[in-house]
Structure 1
């Protein structure tokens, strides 16, 4: 979004309205917050009035019994005021935290439904910033922002009304300095808006850098890049610091200006009020009350700027959050088909695909895989093998052509049903920081521990699982750091099997295991592929020789298609690849 658009007041109001929509389920907390805020504003001048009355009618007249009664009354007021402030703070914080809980849930749900294409160009650190720190600024809209601003404005109106009623001359003296304060506030507000934009920008960049470099710390250490990456971090961290210093610099100018204005107002009130009291035009109690009013007026005005800045931060956070929620890059789930039975026949008909809508990754791909058959995809890196399986599950949408399962366009199936029917085991295994059980069933309560144990035995994974502390309750660290790559791969394979898919996709699924483990998996695969359609991507041709059909891809095009023996007889791409691999190992 453009800076001009962000700074437009009508646009800010629009953002606020969108945030306030999330407040509707919590009307009770909102109503109580407003009632208590109004109560605080209405009773704000009561203490100066009580002091004025006590000074003029009891202290100066030496009435000790009346003084005791007024002291007790003031104590009761202070207790009640403390209780009101407690509940007002409580309800505004409940309101704010409830709103961001719902908003954060919506953001997370939205992000998890976005196409993979969105994540290809969006840094993960930026999304983390949106979901965590940007949302916290929205919470402050309720706990320290809009409700508090309304309360301060009401308090100013009530206090000035009481001041005019008490002594209009002293009131005009105090208000004569207000134009200077309003001008200072105006320029401060404009400067802080820009400053806060810079702060949020560098927070996002800092989070992005940290997320990427902590995740890739092994690469940094492998290539001894610690010093160079540290220097990059120093630069980003310095910009982050400078942005905060600029915002604090504006505060360091604004607050002394307000204090000076307040001191001048106080001096004028003491000078003029004392003369008036000596001349009998007013009382000493009024002068003392006005000294208290000055603090009660300038303090909310000063805090209004703080709260306005809090509101601005919340608006900037809301702008960033809604920019994510407004991202219309979800895979459209317009399909409704959920057939009770899926045979698993796959048809690609003249499929064209490009990640950027320009550079074709797949060009006019056509093939048929009969139900229960195995298809192997081979070719150099970048040939388009992984793109084919991503398109089958609709992680990306094709540009031209059609993909069918059992003769039905994949877009006609319910998206969740489609993806549950296709199990994918990737080369790069991702495991969550959770138990082995939860990493396998993915919190699907319909999958029993007996099914998990049975699947583990079928691939020979039960041996290493039984040796782990707690067996299937063993807590896997982030990305499976405490497991070997082969063990992690085995868990991902079990994960695919227990969901009982009709179509099985193996994307270099045995590349991270040793020869002995690979033999175990190959035996399990042969058994499990019965009555299942399977697509296998493999660089090692020894693992796909029994495939019913092999497709050789090159630069997004099908160069050859046939069985292992048929392709060898063609003496083409596949034969050269076969000779290269097997001759290199002396076969």
Structure 2
């Protein structure tokens, strides 16, 4: 996407706020017109008041200048209130768009990039993009009238000096263009380095136990210092570049002013100009050069915004899950799941699952077994439509699962995955998930999952992802959350990994008694649970080795040895 296309997309963010923007620009135009009068009033104060010793003229012109300043400040307050409100709304709109897009994105993206990196990238990009609603950019776009009025004022006073002033504009444009190109490169480099540092932060925080145990603090410290040094060096270069840009602008302004004073003094001595004319001329110079510098500097400002905008707009182009509105799940009588010759590959080359065919009848309790990397979790992801088969079909009630509305389809399931998440809310809120359950039903559920210690404390917050809980308590709470919601199909992926033997037996009783009529799909190698299953599917290297009962598995010594060796 070209820079021009990016800028057009950013400007479209203002479209819903056209009325507010019209008032903001109107305020800026009125303010500009009022300020164009000030140099003429200053000229009158010098030439007609001070030099001719006319106090009435000095008093009247000074009063008008004060009135103009007062009105201008009131206008500025109104304008700034509207502008900041528009910026806040644009910021909120982009954040909400990010939230909705994340919800629709394919799950594969989140397996490749850490949550910290995503969060930091989005935060930095939104912060940069919303700079288009900053006062400096509004000011620059609105100052065309100021430039026109200032140029007219310069030529009215003296056309020779006016031409001298205008000669500096191409030179200033050339310098800013060079700075803008350099800054754009720095901005892109900064974003890349910031992303890498965020990824490293996430890696260090998540791996702090390993860092402490294996004694690799110094190695990680050197790696962190290296990335941090790159980032701070880029920030320093960007800051120095801005200083050079500001310095070049100030030097040129001062050079023009000095030349006007020198040439203007000689012209005054020759009676070609008055003292008031010189003062007014210098003021009009600022009305021309400052807005022109601001307009030219828009390119410099956008050079720091465009890389973020490109990255965020590319983020919005990432693939999303397919949403199809077709048959309603509630109307399906037979809720069986059928895999027929299903193939799937993560990378499009090496198959993860190959020629998978089996059925899960409504109300069946089915275990999926296999060694690490055999494709068990991928199988569940296909059922939940986190992935789409490369070949073959998966049906629910005889209808391809891809034909259902995805949100309605997923509302059919309850899930406890290997990497489940708990929210920084209370025990009760984590169970209910905005549903309304009675205290009695919550207490009963906590008893059923063996969390009686929380019966009188279910309003207690559990910290980020259940940080205040033990591993077993977290797993039991996730189990309670799944069971509490009346779903048709329950999926458990290694749900008992942090549970002791007694808790495993309790879990087996739960799925047979409390979820007795529900369809259960569970990944496990635990004999205490397997013996309660109606069907066991054994997968190895992406292929099905056996579909049978617990008794069939026990009678196959070779298969039994392979699958239980991983537990």
Query: Out of 460, 466, 471, which is 2:450 matched to?
Result: 460
Cα deviation per residue 1:225-256 (whole Å; 9 max; x = unaligned)? Answer: 22221211111111111212222232333333
Give the Cα–Cα distance (whole angstroms) in 2 for the partners of residues 328 and 93 of structure 1: 33
Equivalent position of 1:177 in the other structure: 168
Structure 2 unmatched runs, 5+: none
With normalisation by structure 2, the TM-score equals 0.94
Cα deviation per residue 1:87-126 (whole Å; 9 max; x = unaligned)? Answer: 2222222112211211111112101211111222234344
Equivalent position of 1:585 in the other structure: none
With normalisation by structure 1, the TM-score equals 0.91
Query: Out of 154, 158, 164, which is 1:167 matched to?
Result: 158
Give the Å deviation of 1:431: 0.8
Secondary structure in structure 2 of the residue aligned to 1:472: coil
Identify which range, 231-240 or 67-76, moves more after superposition.
67-76
Give the Å deviation of 1:222: 3.1
Equivalent position of 1:134 in the other structure: 125
2:504–2:529 CA contact under 8 A, matched in 1: no
Give the Å deviation of 1:352: 0.8
Name the CA shift for 1:155/1:453 in 2 (closer, same or farther; >3 Å): farther
1:434–1:476 CA contact under 8 A, matched in 2: yes
Equivalent position of 1:500 in the other structure: 486
Query: Out of 48, 51, 56, which is 1:57 matched to?
Result: 48
Query: Out of 195, 199, 202, which is 1:211 matched to?
Result: 202
Query: Out of 521, 537, 559, which is 2:545 matched to?
Result: 559
Secondary structure in structure 2 of the residue aligned to 1:572: helix
Structure 1 unmatched runs, 5+: 6-10, 583-587
Give the Å deviation of 1:24: 2.5
Give the Cα–Cα distance (whole angstroms) in 2 for the partners of residues 314 and 154 of structure 1: 26
Query: How big is the alpha-carbon RMSD for the aligned residues of Structure 1 and Structure 2?
Result: 2.2
Equivalent position of 2:276 in the other structure: 285
How many residues align? The count is: 567
Name the CA shift for 1:308/1:170 in 2 (closer, same or farther; >3 Å): same
Secondary structure in structure 2 of the residue aligned to 1:428: coil
Q: Does residue 46 of structure 1 match 2:32?
A: no
Query: Out of 527, 548, 552, which is 1:541 matched to?
Result: 527
Query: Out of 495, 498, 502, which is 1:509 matched to?
Result: 495
Give the Å deviation of 1:217: 2.6
Query: Out of 247, 255, 273, which is 1:256 matched to?
Result: 247
2:177–2:300 CA contact under 8 A, matched in 1: no
Give the Å deviation of 1:545: 1.3
Name the CA shift for 1:569/1:236 in 2 (closer, same or farther; >3 Å): same
1:349–1:366 CA contact under 8 A, matched in 2: yes
Give the Cα–Cα distance (whole angstroms) in 1 for the partners of residues 40 and 134 of structure 2: 29
Give the Å deviation of 1:492: 0.7
Name the CA shift for 1:12/1:449 in 2 (closer, same or farther; >3 Å): farther
Identify which range, 452-461 or 413-422, moves more after superposition.
452-461
1:346–1:370 CA contact under 8 A, matched in 2: yes
Give the Cα–Cα distance (whole angstroms) in 2 for the partners of residues 406 and 338 of structure 1: 9
Name the CA shift for 1:254/1:20 in 2 (closer, same or farther; >3 Å): closer
Give the Cα–Cα distance (whole angstroms) in 2 for the partners of residues 447 and 349 of structure 1: 39
Secondary structure in structure 1 of the residue aligned to 2:143: helix
Equivalent position of 1:77 in the other structure: 68
Give the Cα–Cα distance (whole angstroms) in 2 for the partners of residues 215 and 404 of structure 1: 38
Give the Cα–Cα distance (whole angstroms) in 2 for the partners of residues 233 and 575 of structure 1: 45
Name the CA shift for 1:123/1:487 in 2 (closer, same or farther; >3 Å): closer
Identify which range, 390-399 or 273-282, moves more after superposition.
273-282
Equivalent position of 1:413 in the other structure: 404
Give the Cα–Cα distance (whole angstroms) in 1 for the partners of residues 189 and 5 of structure 2: 22
1:114–1:331 CA contact under 8 A, matched in 2: no
Name the CA shift for 1:144/1:206 in 2 (closer, same or farther; >3 Å): farther
Matches within 5 A, 1:20-419: 20-144=11-135, 146-340=137-331, 343-419=334-410
Cα deviation per residue 1:485-541 (whole Å; 9 max; x = unaligned)? Answer: 111111111111122111111111111122333333222222123111111111223
2:176–2:296 CA contact under 8 A, matched in 1: yes
Give the Cα–Cα distance (whole angstroms) in 2 for the partners of residues 581 and 508 of structure 1: 12
